[in-house]
Amino acid sequence: MPRLNDQVQELLQEYADLINITGGDAFRARAYEKAARAVGGHPEDVAGLDVKGLQQIPGVGKSTAEKVAEYTATGRITALETLRAKIPSGVREMMAVPSVGPKRALALYRDLGIASVDELADAIRSDKLSEVAGFGERSGEKILHGIELMRQSGGRTLLDTATELAEQIVAALSDVPGCTRCAYAGSLRRMRETVGDIDVLATAADSEPLMAALTELPYVAEVIASGPTKTSVLTDQGVQVDLRVVPEEDWGAALVYFTGSKAHNIKLRTMAVRAGLKLSEYGLFEVDGDAKNGGAKGGGAKGGGAKAAAKAAKATKGDGTKVVSATEEEVYAALDLPWIAPPLREDRGEIEAALRGELPDLVQESDLRGDLHTHTDLTDGLASLEEMIDTAAARGYSYFAVTDHAPDLVMQRMTDEKMLAQREQLHRLADRHKKLRLLHGTELNIGPDGGVDWPPEFLAGFDLCVASVHSHFNLDRAAQTHRLVRACENPYVHVIGHLTTRRIGRRGPIDVDLDAVFAAAARTGTAIEINSSPQRLDLRDEDILRAKRHGARFSIDSDAHATPHLAYPRFGVGTAQRAWLTTEDVVNTWTWQRLKHFLRKDALR
Q: What are phi and psi of 99, to 5 degrees?
A: 80, 5
Cβ pair 136, 86 in contact under 8 A: no
CATH at residue 254: 3.30.210.10
Query: Which residues, in sequence order, are bridge partners of residue 38?
Result: none
Q: Are residues 227 and 256 in the same domain?
A: no
Bond before 63 cis per omega within 30 degrees? no
Instruction: Round to whole Å and give the CA distance between 438 and 436.
Output: 6
Among 333, 355, 377, the domain-final residue is 355
Pairing of strands 220-226, 230-235: antiparallel
pLDDT at 296: 38
* Shared domain check, 584 and 511: yes
Residue 155 confidence (pLDDT): 66
Residue 360 lies in a domain: no
Q: What is the largest CA-CA distance in the chain?
A: 81
**Are 370 and 398 a contacting pair, CB within 8 Å?**
yes
Instruction: Indicate whether 525 belongs to any domain.
Output: yes
Q: Are residues 319 and 403 in the same domain?
A: no
523-543 exposure pattern, b = at least 16 Cβ within 10 A, e = fewer: ebbbbbbbbbbbbbbbbbbeb
Alpha carbon distance 507, 15 (integer Å): 21
At position 169, the amino acid (one-letter code) is: I
Between the two ends of the chain, the Cα-to-Cα distance in Å is: 49
Q: Alpha-carbon distance 115 to 89, whole Å?
A: 8
Is the whole-model pTM more than 0.85? Answer: no
Same domain, yes or no, for 193 and 312? Answer: no
Pairing of strands 198-203, 181-184: antiparallel
Helix (H) or strand (E) holding 424: helix 416-430
Q: Mark whether 83 and 172 lie in a shared domain.
A: no
Same-domain pairing of 135 and 191: no
In which element (H, E) is residue 235 found? strand 230-235
Q: By CB neighbour count within 10 A (0-12 exposed, 13-18 middle, 19+ buried), where does 503 fall?
A: middle
Q: Can you say whether the dihedral through the CA atoms of 199, 200, 201, 205 is positive or negative?
A: negative
Q: Do 322 and 370 fall into the same domain?
A: no
Residues 319 and 378 in one domain: no
Q: Please, are residues 97 and 143 in contact by the beta-carbon 8 Å criterion?
A: yes
211, 230, 246 — which closes off a domain? 246
Could you tell me if 125 and 255 lie in one domain?
no
3-state DSSP assignment of residue 32: helix
574 with 545, same domain: the answer is yes
Q: In this structure, which amino acid lies at residue 241?
A: V
Q: Is the separation of the CB atoms in 299 and 265 below 8 Å?
A: yes
At 289 the pLDDT is 52
Domain that holds residue 59: 4-153
Contacts with 411 (C-beta within 8 Å, 6 or more apart), sequence order? none
The reply to whether omega before 545 is within 30° of 0 (cis) is no
Instruction: Look at residues 273, 282, 129, 130 and name the one whose alpha carbon lies nearest to residue 201.
Output: 282
My answer on whether 89 and 177 are in the same domain is no
Strand partners, 515: none
Distance CA 546, CA 99 (A): 28
Q: CATH number for the domain including 44?
A: 1.10.150.110
Residue 458: inside a domain: yes
In the chain (605 residues long), the average pLDDT of successive 10-residue segments reads: 76 86 81 86 83 88 91 90 83 77 79 86 84 76 79 78 95 97 98 95 96 95 92 89 95 96 96 93 78 40 37 44 89 96 97 97 98 95 94 97 92 89 96 93 97 96 97 93 98 98 88 97 97 96 97 98 95 98 98 95 54
178 in the same domain as 100? no
CATH of the domain at 217: 3.30.460.10
Query: Taking a C-beta distance cutoff of 8 angstroms, is the pair 498, 123 a contact?
Result: no
Q: What is the CATH number of the domain that holds 486?
A: 3.20.20.140
Q: Which of 355, 373, 396 is the last residue of a domain?
A: 355
DSSP assigned state of 298: S
Residue 409 resides in a domain: yes
- The count of structural domains within the chain is 4
Asked if residue 385 is part of any domain, the answer here is yes
